[in-house]
Chain A
Amino acid sequence: MNMTRLKVTFSMLMKEFYRNKAVMFFVLLFPILLMVLFGFIFSDQDEVQYILPIQNMDGGSHSWNFTQTLNDTGLFEIRLVDTDLDPYDYLLQQKTNTILVIPHGYQAEMDQIIIQRFIMGQPNNDTANLTLIIDPASTAAMVKTQMLDSLVGAINKGMAGVPDVIGMDIETTVSDQFKAIDFFAPGIIAMSVMTTALFGTVGMNTELRQKGILRKLATTPLTRAEWLVTNVLYQFVMGGLSTISIIIVGMILFGLQPQINLFLPLFIILNVFAFSGIGMLITRFVKDAESAQAAANAVMFPMMFLSGTFFPLEQMPDFLQTIAGFLPLYYVNEGLRSAMINPDMGVMAFNALVIGVVGIVMFILGILLTSWKDE
C-alpha cells in the first residue's frame, strides 16, 4: 500500500467526480428527490399525533392502565371502540388503518405471568398478547406499528426489574418529537448509500474496463489492492454526501431531528464497504457492462423491498422475514434506525458487527479474487 499512489488516484477520482454532472445528480440530487417524495407522502398522514383506536375486550385494570400509559405518551390520540363491533368492520367503516384490540383474558393472563415469575419464582417466556390489526397498504399504520412496538418493548423491559407494570415511565425511550419522517429517513439513507456504492462501483469499473483504462492502469505500479482501497474511499465520500444531503433536506423541509452520534457515520462506512465490495465482485464475474448493471439490480431490488426500508418486516410472511435476515441492508436499516431515533448500544453494536463482518469479507474476497490480469 503506497500512500502517494493512493493520494494521487483518489484526488484524480474526486476531480473527475466534480466535473461529472450525471454522477453529481445521482449522488446528491437523487437521494434528495427520494427524501422529498417520501417526506410529502408522510407529512400527508395524520402526522404528529397518531390516531389509535383501541377496543378493550378485557376491561380489567391492567388493560385500562395500559391504555392510559399510551395516552400519556402524547404520541397517540386514543379513540375507544365499542366492544360490540367487529374490529375488521370498524377498520373498513371508519376508513382508519389501525386498531389495537386488548383481548378478553388479558388481565388474567398477565396476573398469572406475574405470579409465576415474581411470586413463585418460575421464570418463563409467556406473554399476555395484544392484537394489532392494520391495513397493510397504509404507511401510517407501519409507523404506528413501529411506535407501539417500541412502547411495548419499553414496558416489557421495565417489567423484568420492577414487578409493578402500571407505574412505568416510558418517556425516555421514544422522543416526543418522533415523526414518520424520523422513521423513514434512516431507511432512505441506507438505501441511497447502498445504491450509490453498488452502482458507483459497478459503473465505474465496467466503464474503465471497456475503455481499456484498467488495462493501462495494470501496467503502472498501482496495485489492484490500492485501486480497490481508493474505490472504497471514493465511495465513502459519495455515501457521505448522499447522507448529508438527505439529512439537511429532511431537517429543512420536514423537521427531521436525527440523533447524531458516531454510529451514524459508522453505519454509512460499513454500508459502503459491504456494497462496494459486492460491486467489485460483480464486475469481477460479470464482464460486460449491461449484464453487470442487471446483476447490480438483482442485488438491489430484494434489498430494497425485503430489508425493511419501505415495509416493516412484521407484515411480511415468515419466509420473507427469514430471507431478510440474510440481507446485509437489513442490518444497516436496523442499526441506522436505532442510531438516528433511539440509540441503543446493544442494537447498534450487534448490527454494526454483522454488517462489518459482511463488509470485511466482501472486501477481502474482492482483493483475493480480482486481479489486473486476465484469467
Chain B
Amino acid sequence: MPKPAIQVRDLVKKYGDLSAVNCISFDVQRGQVFSFLGPNGAGKTTTVEMIETIRTPTSGHIDILGMELKKNRSSVLKRIGVLPQDFNSFDRLTVRETVKFFSGLFNGIRDVDELIKLVNLEDERDKLYMNLSGGLKQRVGIAVALVNDPEIVFLDEPTTGLDPRARHDVWDVIKGLKQRGKTVFLTTHYMEEAEVLSDYLAIISKGSIIAEGAPLELIDKHCNTIKMTIRGGPAEIENVVRERGLTLEDAANGDVTVQIEDNAQILDLLNLLKSRNLSYHSLDIRKATLEEVFLTLTGESLTGELAEEEPSTGELAEEEPSTDEQAGGMPLTGAPLTDNQATVEEPLTPGGDVQ
C-alpha cells in the first residue's frame, strides 16, 4: 500500500487555555476525497491550516507526501493547493489577472484560461474581483487553488454561501479532481456534501475526532435505522403507531416520523392505516444520515441552522435499500423549508493568524 498523502499524529493546537485541536491523528489516502465534518468552532480550520503550514502546531507530527512538514515547507507548498476559509483577493484585479498573478507565483503550470473555464467564470473573466458576487469570488478562489496543478487540494468550506447551482458546480469540480487522481481535503459542515463527495470522512467536535470511516460505514455503524415520515394525515396515526409498539420520533403539523428497525414494519404499518381508512398526503422513507450520526455521538446538532432542502442525487440515493424517495436530503433540524432557498451563513471570524 502506498504511503498516505497526509499523516497526522497527535496534533495539538492550544490558544491559551483553549485546546482548539486536541491531540488528533488521522491518515488521508492518496487519490481520495477526505472530508472533515464538524460544527462551527470544532477546529477544522485550525487543523487544515496547520497542515497548510500557516499555523504552527503546539505539538504533534505531520507528514505530507512522504515528507516531514516542518523541514520541507517550501517543497510542500509547491505541491499543494489551498482555498482558505473566506477566500478573498485583491480588489482591483480582474478574474483573469488574479488567476494569472497566483499562477505567476508558482511559475504557473496550468493554463489560466482553462482554469477559468473549469470554474465557469468565462463570462466574468475581465470583471474586477471587487465587483463579483460572493459565490463567484469563491470560484475564483478554487481556480487559484489549482494554478500549480497540486497533488493535494485543500478546500476549507468551499460551498458555504453558494446557491444550490453553484454548489453543484463546485461538487463537479471536486469530482473532476478526484477523477484526475488528486487528493482532496474538504472541510464542511454540510453533511450532505460530505456524504455525496467523500470516500472517507472524519467527524470532529470540540477539537477531537469522534468518528471516522466511509460515509455509509459510519451510518451503518452508529445509526442503523430507517425513518418513515407520514405527511398530511389525521392525528389518529400517532395512536396507531403507538399501538404497534413502534418508536415515535416526532409528530408535528400532521407529520408523523417513526423509527423503523425492520423493513417488514413499514408494510405492516401502511396496511393497518389502510384498513382503518386513515389517509395521508405523502410518505417519506429514508435511511439515517450523518446528521443523525452526529446527533447520536454528541447529542448536538451539526449545523444548528436550516439543513439542505435540496434533494441529494447521485451515488448514495441509488444505494439506498428501501426508499422510494431520495435519501439524505430531508430537513433534519425541524424548520419548515421553502423551495429553492439558499443557505445563508453567518460570516465567520477566522483566526486572523497570519504574520
Interface string of B275-296 (1 = CB under 8 A from A): 0000000000000000000000
Residue from B80, B89, B90, B351 within 8 A of A219 (CB atoms): B80
Q: Which of B28-36, B53-61, B158-166, B247-255 is near enough to bind chain A?
A: B53-61
Residue from A12, A212, A221 within 8 A of B77 (CB atoms): A221
Contact yes or no, B89 A19, CB < 8 A: no
- A15 within 8 Å of B by Cβ? yes
> In the complex, A184 Cα to B297 Cα: how many Å?
74
27-53 of chain B: CB within 8 A of chain A: 49, 52-53
Known contacts A12-B97, A219-B54, A221-B106; A209 and B352 CB within 8 A of each other? yes
Known contacts A4-B107, A220-B105, A373-B56; A214 and B88 CB within 8 A of each other? no
The residue on A at minimum CB distance from B77 is A221
316-375 of chain A: CB within 8 A of chain B: 370-375
Residue from B91, B105, B350 within 8 A of A212 (CB atoms): B350
Contact yes or no, B87 A212, CB < 8 A: yes
- B310 within 8 Å of A by Cβ? no
Contact yes or no, B354 A16, CB < 8 A: no
Known contacts A221-B74, A283-B355; A8 and B104 CB within 8 A of each other? yes
> In the complex, A9 Cα to B84 Cα: how many Å?
20
Interface string of A211-223 (1 = CB under 8 A from B): 1111111111110
Residue from A8, A215, A221 within 8 A of B354 (CB atoms): A215
Interface string of A260-294 (1 = CB under 8 A from B): 00000000000000000000000110010000000
- A20 within 8 Å of B by Cβ? yes
Residue from A5, A211, A283, A374 within 8 A of B105 (CB atoms): A5
Q: How far is the CB of B347 from chain A (nearest CB, A)?
A: 12
Q: Which residues of A contact B355 (CB under 8 A)?
A: 209, 214, 283-284, 287, 370-375
Known contacts A219-B54, A374-B56; A5 and B351 CB within 8 A of each other? no
> In the complex, A217 Cα to B74 Cα: how many Å?
13
> In the complex, A222 Cα to B89 Cα: how many Å?
15
Q: How far is the CB of A214 from chain B (nearest CB, A)?
A: 4
Contact yes or no, A12 B352, CB < 8 A: no
1-55 of chain A: CB within 8 A of chain B: 4-5, 8-9, 12, 15-16, 19-20
- A210 within 8 Å of B by Cβ? yes
The residue on A at minimum CB distance from B54 is A218
Q: Which residues of A contact B128 (CB under 8 A)?
A: 19
Contact yes or no, B54 A12, CB < 8 A: no
> In the complex, A16 Cα to B91 Cα: how many Å?
8
Q: Which residues of A contact B85 (CB under 8 A)?
A: 212
Contact yes or no, A5 B77, CB < 8 A: no
Q: Which residues of A contact B54 (CB under 8 A)?
A: 215, 218-219, 372-374
90-105 of chain B: CB within 8 A of chain A: 90-93, 97, 101-102, 104-105
Contact yes or no, A219 B53, CB < 8 A: yes
Q: How far is the CB of B93 from chain A (nearest CB, A)?
A: 6
Contact yes or no, A15 B93, CB < 8 A: yes
> In the complex, A359 Cα to B126 Cα: how many Å?
40
> In the complex, A222 Cα to B88 Cα: how many Å?
17
Q: How far is the CB of A157 from chain B (nearest CB, A)?
A: 51
> In the complex, A290 Cα to B210 Cα: how many Å?
40
> In the complex, A374 Cα to B46 Cα: how many Å?
11
Known contacts A8-B101, A220-B77; A19 and B92 CB within 8 A of each other? yes
Q: How far is the CB of B209 from chain A (nearest CB, A)?
A: 23
- A20, A213, A374 — most chain B CB neighbours (10 Å): A374
The residue on B at minimum CB distance from A19 is B92
Residue from A15, A19, A213, A218 within 8 A of B88 (CB atoms): A213
Q: Which residues of A contact B318 (CB under 8 A)?
A: none
Q: Which residues of A contact B352 (CB under 8 A)?
A: 209-210, 287
Q: Hey, which bits of chain B sit against chain A, CB under 8 A?
A: 49, 52-56, 74, 77-78, 80, 82, 84-93, 97, 101-102, 104-107, 128, 144, 350-355
Interface CB pairs A-B, < 8 A, 7: A212-B86, A212-B88, A215-B84, A215-B353, A221-B78, A373-B56, A374-B353
Q: Hey, which bits of chain A sit against chain B, CB under 8 A?
A: 4-5, 8-9, 12, 15-16, 19-20, 209-222, 283-284, 287, 370-375
